[in-house]
Structure 1
Amino acid sequence: MIVSATPRFRNILLDVWQPLFILFLWDVAVTVFYFISPFRAPALPLTLFGTALALFLGFRVNSAYQRWWEGRVLWGAMINASRSLARGSMAFLPIDDIGPARELKRSIVLRHIAYVHGLRCQLRRQDPAPEVLRFLSPTEAADPLSRTNVANGLLDGTGRRIARAMREGWIDTIQQTQLESILVDIANAQGGMERIKNTPLPNQYRFLPTLFARLFCILLPIGLVESLGWATPIGSSLAGLMFLTVLHIGDDLVDPFADTIHDVPMTAMCRTIEIDLLQAIGDAAPPPLQPEKGVLW
């Protein structure tokens, strides 16, 4: 996620320079043809076309931003539920400095840190094994890493440990229900993230705005050359730049977990969870993640 307050015009130009260059060449060709031939540009209702296209692109960008914002809200819920899980585990399980209850509390907390990092890797289509093995032994990690959904396997293991605490008499059924409800909130957040990741925008939202924007850019110099003359390539390219940029914004936001500079900063939020949970069990924690060149990952 870009957190710098300075506009990154260079990145915008790098994203759209190829279609913009092709558009500029087309504008030049239309302008030259207009002045060396008896061709007269037809009167095109560019204002009407442009207004309709702007509304169409606006719907697309709003839909893409809604997906991005929902992804951010779900990760905010994950942070809150993670803190609640650690707090409940530390408060409900017996205070035991060296016994099995202490190890169980540490196991629940460390497994959950491994869980959020594993979920982050899954959403970015990366291998979660290295992150999971940072917090779990190979024996503990073997079962979840053998599953198709590694994060869900880790969450199942946490549920079994909470059930074990109830069987051992360390917590009662009410406390188990409270901890299990937190796991349900975590699972719901994960399900929402997977829904966003695995469900693309409808084809009409992806194909038609792109088609109409490019068609409008083709018609633009034909409708402007009468009034702009030799300045048509500049005026038409600037107007085309605006439409191409809006089109690209929708592409940037449609997948908030794509591991790009525009996605939800999952690495930083996982680090926040890691810090809070490690400090909850009295372990040393790493520093918060800082932006790199104005980007928070």
Structure 2
Amino acid sequence: MYVKRNYGFWMTFNWSKWPFIVGTAYGFVICLLSFFSKVDFSIPWSPISIMGIAVAFYLGFKNNSSYDRTWEARKIWGSIVNNSRTFGAAVVSFVQIEDSIAIQKELIYRHIAWLTVLRHQLRLSKPWEHIESRAQVYAPNITEDYNSKLDQELSLYISQEEIQSLENKANKATQLLKIQSQRFQELKDKSAYEDFRHMEFHKLVTTFYEDQGKSERIKNFPFPRQYASTALWMTIVFSFFVPFGLLNGFKDMNGLAYWLSPFLSGLIIWIFFLMEKIGDYSENPFEGSYNDVPITSIAKAIEIDLREMINDENIPKPEEEENGFLM
């Protein structure tokens, strides 16, 4: 997520420059052919403008739908924040028995481990994501290394025995919540708290399962490819006709005015492809790209809140932006 006031123009242009470069070069080719062959390649602008309006409406639909996916993902993680704080307060308030401090720390740390596993799992690559062009130019490369980093991070929060019990599990986050639920039952059986408080813990585990499932729904179900693909092909078709339509308006001009047509072609093509690309890079809010929901930062903020509730030591600092990006 970009946290400065605006993307810089050159940052935006560098990210999306190829449609302008190719569109301008293509426009020059059309103008040169028309100029030297004396053949009129021009097409009336009216049908092209109608086509452009249709493409603009379709790109608007795609961008709105992509934004809905991103905003829904942010609301889900906002729910995780609220439910995690409630969970922390419940642990501190409800667990009041012998060795309660150690038990509270165990439960809080296991919840942080669940957050760690979940954000790693959400950043595993999917075939429809931008695997080869993730946030590596301006943003830090934060794609989670699931196979080598996860166990090292989990060792800060849970025992090696628990870590080993998660090996070869298809969904480690799900299994961690199961272990947490079993631990609550063990505490209930030891009369650490009564039925009412046990049910409150169970409700909180249920909300975490729901939030995890909602996140996985967005991660595992792509923006329908028929809509994404159609937007791209419609933009390409429209861009193909743009130089011919502009040629109609510039063909009777002399001197440098005639050669403005290729630059205007490139500019129009760039604008439409920029709209298409913004929607394309907003479809997958957990892919580790420029416009991600900052789940690493959110998870760190939750960890700080929970560890402060139990007066823990060596509490980490909040995540800081890097080159304007918070991940």
TM-score by length of 1: 0.95
Q: Does the 8 Å CA contact 2:239/2:269 hold for their aligned counterparts? A: yes
Higher mean C-alpha displacement, 188-197 vs 13-22: 13-22
Pick aligned residue for 2:86 from 84, 87, 95: 84
> Is the contact between residue 243 and residue 261 of structure 2 (CA under 8 Å) also seen in structure 1?
yes
Please give the secondary structure, in 1, of the residue aligned with 2:16: helix
CA distance in 2, matches of 1:196, 1:88: 29
Counterpart AA for 2:114: Y
Equivalent residue for 1:93?
95
Q: Which residue pairs with 1:230 in the alignment?
A: 259
Residue in 2 aligned with 1:123?
122
Per the TM alignment, residue 62 of structure 1 is displaced from its structure 2 partner at its CA by 0.7
Q: Which digits, 9 at most, give the CA deviation of each residue in 1:205-262, with x for residues without a partner? A: 1111100101111100100112133211111111111111111101111000011221
* Residue aligning to 1:250: 279
| Contact map agreement 1:111 1:158 (CA 8 A) in 2 | yes
Greater helix content: 1
Equivalent residues, number? 294
5 Å-filtered alignment, 1:104-123, equals 104-123=103-122
1:211 and 2:233 equivalent? yes
Structure 1 runs not aligned, ≥5 long? none
Q: Deviations over 1:49-69 (max 9, x none)?
A: 111100000010111111111
Q: Is it true that 1:290 corresponds to 2:320 in the alignment?
A: yes
- Alpha-carbon offset, residue 40 of structure 1: 4.1
2:43–2:245 contact (8 Å) kept in structure 1 = yes
More contact order relative to length (CA 8 Å, sep ≥ 6): 2
Q: CA deviation at 1:150?
A: 1.0
Cα contact 1:118–1:131 (8 A) shared by 2: no
Structure 1 residue 20: Cα displacement: 2.6
Checking the alignment, whether the CA contact within 8 Å between 1:30 and 1:221 is kept in structure 2 is: yes
Q: What is the deviation of 1:95?
A: 4.9
State the superposition RMSD in angstroms. Answer: 1.4
Measure, in 2, the Cα distance between the counterparts of 1:65 and 1:26. Answer: 32
Native 8 Å contact 1:129 1:145 kept in 2? no
Asked if 1 retains the 8 angstrom alpha-carbon contact of 2:59 and 2:231, the reply is yes
Tell me which amino acid in the other structure corresponds to 1:74.
I
Give the conservation status (yes or no) of the 8 Å contact 1:72–1:264.
yes
CA contact (8 A) 2:23 2:270 kept: no
Distance 2:304 2:91 in 1: 16
Partner of 1:65 in structure 2? 67
Amino acid at match of 2:44: A
**What is the SS of the residue equivalent to 2:275?**
helix
The match for 2:269 is 240
Q: Pick one of 40, 48, 51 that aligns with 2:50.
A: 48
User: Aligned residue for 2:16?
Assistant: 16
**Stretches of 4+ aligned residues off by more than 6 angstroms:** none
- Per the alignment, residue 103 of structure 1 pairs with 102
Tell me how far apart the structure 2 counterparts of residues 40 and 121 of structure 1 sit (CA, whole Å): 54
Give the match for residue 278 of structure 1: 307
1:26: Cα distance to partner? 0.7
Give the Cα separation in 1 of the matches to 2:43 and 2:101.
81
- Cα pair 1:104 1:161 within 8 Å, conserved: no
What is the TM-score normalised by the length of structure 2?
0.86
- Does structure 2 conserve the Cα–Cα contact (< 8 Å) formed by 1:118 and 1:129? no
1:268 and 1:296 in contact (8 A); partners too: yes
1:256 aligned counterpart, secondary structure: coil
Identity of aligned residues (%): 29
5+ residue gaps in structure 2? 125-144, 251-257
Distance in 1 (CA, whole Å) between partners of 2:226 and 2:248 is 34
State how far apart, in whole Å, the 2-side matches of 1:203 and 1:290 are.
35
* CA distance in 1: counterparts of 2:158 and 2:326, whole angstroms: 27
Structure 1 residue 17, shift from structure 2 partner: 2.2
Distance in 1 separating the partners of 2:202 and 2:60: 42
Q: Deviations over 1:156-188 (max 9, x none)?
A: 111111111111111111111111111111110
